[in-house]
Amino acid sequence: MNAKQNWINETENSLNHLKAVDVNPYLYSKIINKLNFNENEFVSGKLVWATSLSIVIILILNIYAVRFNLKSKSSSTKTEIQSLSSELYLTNTIDYN
């Protein structure tokens, strides 16, 4: 227990030897100038159209892929369920006698 207490004391006292950091006296004014500086940035029309066209093409491809995937899954799902039920000897008949 003594070793643990020594380790705790060393950890608590490790910050005693640190020096305070000197701050740039003009830091606040630099931050304020950057916040107040209003530079209007313009993006070219070609870039906007190219980006929007790319997004539309990606959306169309995703919709096509999802629709194609759903069509192929719906037809195979019934056969998969039937094969699984036959493998597990599950039947729809219930005999209560």
Domain ranges of the chain: 42-97
Mean pLDDT calculated for residue range 8-29: 85
- Residues 6 or more apart whose Cβ sits within 8 Å of residue 91: 85
pLDDT in tens, 26-60: 999 988 888 887 677 788 999 999 999 999 999 99
pLDDT of residue 42: 80
pLDDT of residue 18: 80
Q: Which residue has the higher pLDDT, 81 or 43?
A: 43
